[in-house]
Chains A and B, each alone.
Chain A
Amino acid sequence: MSQENATKSNLQSSAAPLTSAALTEDWLAVVIGLALFALALIALTGVDALGWVVVASVWTSPDSALGPISKAYAWLGGFNSFVLTYLFLLAVLSAGAATLKADVRRFAVAFTVVFWIAYASWVIGSYAHFAAVTPADLKKFDIHWSLKLTNEGGYLIALIAGLIIANFIPRLAEWLKPAVRPELYVKIAIVILGGFLAVTVASRLNLATSVLLRGTAAIIEAYLIYWAVVYFIARQWFGFSREWAAPLASGISICGVAAAIATGGAIRARPAVAVLVSSLVVIFAVVEVLILPFLADAFLSHEPLVAGAWMGLAIKTDGAAVAGGGITESLILAHAASEGVRYQPGWILGTSATVKVFIDIFIGIWAFILSYIWTNHINVTNDGDKAKLAEIWLRFPKFVIGFVLTFAIGLYLSLSMPAELAAKLPAAMGQANAFRVIFFILTFFSIGLSSNFKALWQDGFLKLAAVYLVSLFGFVIWVGLLISWLFFAGVRPPLAA
């Protein structure tokens, strides 16, 4: 039952508005993401509104682990900066919880624990023996070995911390549930990411356009090829009914939890079906995040954008895919740096995010097509329950609007402002990006907390898992790699200045 509960918040966030809340999680992500983006832009006027946000540096002495992002706030010190960041996010997200009609007090208490454990994982990940990469780094920290994970290895530590709690201290995981909102956290991060990517690509618009055009291949692959094959496998090889096979195919093929829920609604499946499929999606996404970035680093470090696209195509759920892109980027950049090649950061992660967002935006249309087929040909219903065009908008992932807005505004400012002001933009976006990193950390920890492997096996849903296993590892991952290679091989990020 805990798995069922674990994905109920995702149900509310990803599907059409199912509650009487003032905002859905999607719209809330847009509001918070845009607000942080706007606050960061204030820096262009010379007012450092977000300079106090905490960042972690690679460390050997805990005293030097934390600090504010802006030197203007150096007087705050690392710990005060951390506490200020926590209080700020507590206030913002508690207000958000109120708009979702959640129990604000329960949220605030649970969020406090989630934030502190998640950020502690991030700080541990920044320990020099985990994070130092180049020989110069080793010398600087006076150490002789390092796992070379970069400080973004902290994402994996947050994920593992969440998994340990979910699987060995389930009562604590249950208690933390009000603040376990991976979809909300990653959507806020993606909205912020739009502005950061805009500044990154402004100097290489041709390359950015090229990545966008190649992203269309991902849509075709996910909806037309993956879906059809997985649906066939589920129906013919495993004997699932249509009610189970369609959400399962969408969950495995498209964008995980949101797709499973949208499809369940489109074919009028019982809510419990989408909930169980969503549980599976989250669990397998965790397995993928733990494996694929390292495979990408081992075999695709010379084709960085192939690796980025592969993460967007192969890992399901927005959070895990974009986060997987982040880990892949850090591993490959470190790998390349150790060989003397310094790629500009942001392109690998940007490719993963672009591919994922491209796939996401068509979920409404796909849900409408399935709904039309089901209500007119399979379970023929009365006119009142037939597919409606409004369903396309209802299922549209609204956070994409925030992503497009921050990207468009960031690009416009980069290209149109006087050079003196434009030069300040990367630093301003860097401050917003510090929040993006924090929301990624919260996403990883929350994904771990949502993944109770034991409950899944105890509940005996191995047949569902078998379809997922066969489809994902026998087909989805490898076809994703092939398509990524076909369209992104030879396309390389610019070198860092």
Chain B
Amino acid sequence: MPQSDLRAELQNQQREPLLPIEKKLIVGSLVTGIVLLVALALLNHLFPEIR
């Protein structure tokens, strides 16, 4: 596909609303990520190992 077509496509994109599965992916990833990071940070704090 020529660059000019892609440029036009990028400039004139129709907005696609977020589907429920996309919302689930975003929220699920964020919540899992934050929970795991907090858990790891706690482990890191409780078991500092070698510094």
- For residue B34, CB closer than 8 A to chain A, the reply is yes
Interface of A is mostly: helix
Q: Which of chain A's residues has its CB closest to B25's CB?
A: A373
Pairs of residues from A and B, 7 with the lowest C-beta to C-beta distance, nearest first: A224-B33, A228-B29, A225-B33, A377-B21, A206-B50, A224-B29, A228-B26
Give every chain B residue within 8 A of A220 (Cβ-Cβ): 33, 36-37, 40
Interface pairs (18), CB distance under 8 Å: A1-B3, A204-B50, A209-B49, A210-B49, A213-B49, A217-B37, A217-B41, A220-B40, A227-B29, A228-B27, A232-B26, A241-B13, A242-B16, A270-B1, A276-B6, A373-B21, A460-B7, A463-B11
- For residue A196, CB closer than 8 A to chain B, the reply is no
Q: Which of chain A's residues has its CB closest to B29's CB?
A: A228
Footprint of A on B, CB under 8 Å?
Answer: 1, 3, 6-7, 10-11, 13-16, 18-19, 21-22, 25-27, 29-30, 32-34, 36-37, 40-41, 44, 48-51
- Within the assembled complex, what's the spacing in Å between the Cα atoms of A335 and B1? 50
Q: Which of chain A's residues has its CB closest to B11's CB?
A: A463
- Within the assembled complex, what's the spacing in Å between the Cα atoms of A228 and B28? 9
- Within the assembled complex, what's the spacing in Å between the Cα atoms of A373 and B25? 9
Interface hit among A112-120, A426-434, A484-492: A484-492
A-B contact count (CB 8 A): 93
Interface of B is mostly: helix
| A207-B33 in contact given A228-B25, A373-B21, A464-B10 (Cβ < 8 Å) | no
Q: Are B7 and A239 in contact (CB under 8 A)?
A: no
- Within the assembled complex, what's the spacing in Å between the Cα atoms of A39 and B27? 50
Binary flags per residue of A52-95, CB closer than 8 Å to B gives 1, else 0: 00000000000000000000000000000000000000000000
Q: Are B30 and A225 in contact (CB under 8 A)?
A: yes
Give every chain A residue within 8 A of B14 (Cβ-Cβ): 241
Give every chain A residue within 8 A of B48 (Cβ-Cβ): 490
Q: Are A207 and B32 in contact (CB under 8 A)?
A: no
Give every chain B residue within 8 A of A487 (Cβ-Cβ): 40-41, 44
Distance in Å from the Cβ of A305 to the closest Cβ of chain B?
A: 10
- For residue A272, CB closer than 8 A to chain B, the reply is yes
Give every chain A residue within 8 A of B44 (Cβ-Cβ): 214, 486-487
- For residue A288, CB closer than 8 A to chain B, the reply is no
Extra contacts, 18 of them, besides A228-B27, A272-B1, A486-B41 (Cβ < 8 A), are A4-B3, A210-B51, A214-B44, A220-B37, A224-B36, A227-B29, A231-B25, A236-B18, A244-B13, A272-B6, A373-B25, A459-B3, A460-B7, A461-B6, A463-B10, A486-B37, A487-B40, A490-B48
